[in-house]
């Protein structure tokens, strides 16, 4: 749950775009939307529906670049809709189900599918997300909402992440689990310091209830901890009566996609190393060099331009050639672009009025 606190793709015959990445780290889990057949649903709105669908599908495309399939032809279907939310909530998302896998811990549907190497419930979505019908969402793809707008792509990325397993199943009244058969993979890595990192799964219900509202809650998974300098990662754990968003988020001041709130004018379209570690700890294979996602091609008097979404710490080289059959690519002038998690614009003055083919190499 995320709360509030604060020209067509190159059919122009001008150019052709692609993105490449090292083959040993290529991502490719397919994320596909499932829209409501209800004509009154917000995704079918005659004025905003097309842009809402484009923004959602961009967010799902980003997830597709971040995760490597767990099995052949893996597809994660995300059922979406618009409803009035309450209490300043921008959206609510989660898995279709959470269930015990054999003698193992409980897993959300996408993780369970990965464990078995197949779709365990064919024809049904793996994730559900409902967006607030009344929020002023920015529907652009470039992560630059206005000062009075909430970024839709950021909201969608966040909620899909909950559906992928950034989600606890601890009962806020008892400290037990919502499933009678015990904890999920997420709880496996939660601990309270109290001198040592005491695992929540080893606590009594009363101890666990106290821990999740103590402000002293940590993620001890090896991949996320390694990305945090070898130290556990602090988890958002405010007093239970003050905030219902604890346990399944990073702290408010983390600047993370998994902050429990999103302010107007804010946007995050990438995963940090710690966030990639979270998904690795849960059991996913995360692409180390995700391919760049290209969008918004255009031409003007200054040349041909397009935008692409960068990943933090990944370097990109823009290359071109004049003929499709030409085996040689030439780098555009200038140093490699170092990704910072934002969208970057590429402009080629020599591309104006000429046929050129472009590709982006990630390093």
pTM for the model: 0.89
Domain C-terminal end among 286, 313, 331: 286
User: For residue 151, is it within any domain?
Assistant: yes
Is the pLDDT confidence value at 13 over 60?
Answer: no
DSSP 3-state of 318: strand
Q: Report helix angle 152-163 to 49-66, nearest 10.
A: 50
Domain C-terminal end among 264, 286, 308: 286
Shared domain check, 311 and 225: no
Question: In whole numbers, what is the pLDDT of the chain averaged over residues?
Answer: 87
If one counts every other C-beta atom within 10 angstroms of the C-beta of residue 254, the result is 18
User: For residue 274, is it within any domain?
Assistant: yes
Burial class of residue 2 (count of CB atoms within 10 Å of its CB; 0-12, 13-18, 19+): buried
Query: Comparing C-alpha atoms, which of 109, 151, 107 is closest to residue 128?
Result: 109
CA 324, 329, 334, 339 torsion-angle sign? positive
Mean pLDDT of the region 271-286: 95
pLDDT tens digits, 88-122: 899 999 999 998 887 789 999 999 999 999 999 99
User: For residue 12, is it within any domain?
Assistant: no
pLDDT tens digits, 201-257: 999 999 999 999 999 999 999 999 999 999 999 999 998 755 568 899 999 877 789
- The total domain count for the chain is 2
User: For residue 94, is it within any domain?
Assistant: yes
User: For residue 3, is it within any domain?
Assistant: no
Domain that holds residue 232: 27-286
DSSP states of 212-252: TTSS--EE--HHHHHHTTTS-EE-----TTT-TT-SSS--G
Of 85-94, 161-170, 192-201, the range with the lowest mean pLDDT is 192-201
CATH code, 334: 2.60.40
């Amino acid at each position: 749950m995320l709360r509030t606190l604060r020209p067509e793709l190159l059919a122009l015959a001008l150019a052709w775009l692609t993105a490449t990445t090292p083959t040993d780290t290529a991502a490719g889990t397919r994320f596909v939307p499932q829209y409501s057949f209800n004509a009154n649903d917000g995704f079918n709105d005659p004025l905003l529906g097309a842009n809402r669908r484009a923004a959602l599908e961009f967010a799902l495309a980003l997830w597709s670049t971040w995760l490597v399939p767990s099995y052949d032809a893996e597809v994660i279907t995300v059922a979406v809709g618009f409803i009035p939310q309450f209490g300043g909530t921008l959206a609510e998302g989660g898995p279709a189900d959470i269930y015990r896998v054999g003698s193992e811990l409980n897993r959300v549907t996408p993780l369970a599918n990965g464990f078995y190497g197949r779709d365990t419930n064919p024809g049904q979505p793996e994730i559900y997300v409902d967006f607030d019908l009344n929020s002023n969402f920015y529907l652009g793809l470039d992560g630059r909402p206005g000062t009075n707008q909430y970024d839709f792509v950021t909201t969608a990325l966040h909620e899909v992440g909950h559906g992928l397993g950034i989600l606890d199943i601890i009962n806020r009244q008892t400290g037990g689990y919502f499933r009678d058969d015990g904890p999920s993979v997420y709880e496996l890595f939660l601990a309270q310091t109290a001198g040592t990192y005491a695992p929540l799964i080893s606590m009594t219900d009363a101890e666990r209830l106290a821990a999740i509202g103590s402000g002293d809650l940590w993620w001890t998974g090896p991949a996320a901890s390694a990305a945090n300098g070898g130290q556990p990662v602090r988890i958002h754990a405010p007093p239970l009566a003050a905030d219902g968003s604890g346990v399944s988020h990073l702290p408010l001041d983390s600047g993370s996609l998994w902050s429990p709130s999103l302010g107007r004018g804010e946007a995050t379209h990438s995963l940090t190393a710690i966030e990639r570690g979270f998904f690795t700890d849960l059991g996913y294979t995360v692409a180390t060099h995700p391919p760049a996602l290209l969008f918004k091609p255009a031409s003007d008097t200054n040349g041909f331009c397009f935008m692409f979404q960068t990943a933090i710490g990944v370097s990109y080289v823009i290359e071109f050639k004049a003929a499709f059959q030409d085996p040689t690519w030439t780098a555009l002038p200038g140093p490699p672009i170092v990704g910072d998690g934002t969208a970057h614009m590429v402009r080629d003055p020599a591309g104006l009025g000429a046929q050129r083919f472009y590709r982006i190499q990630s390093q």
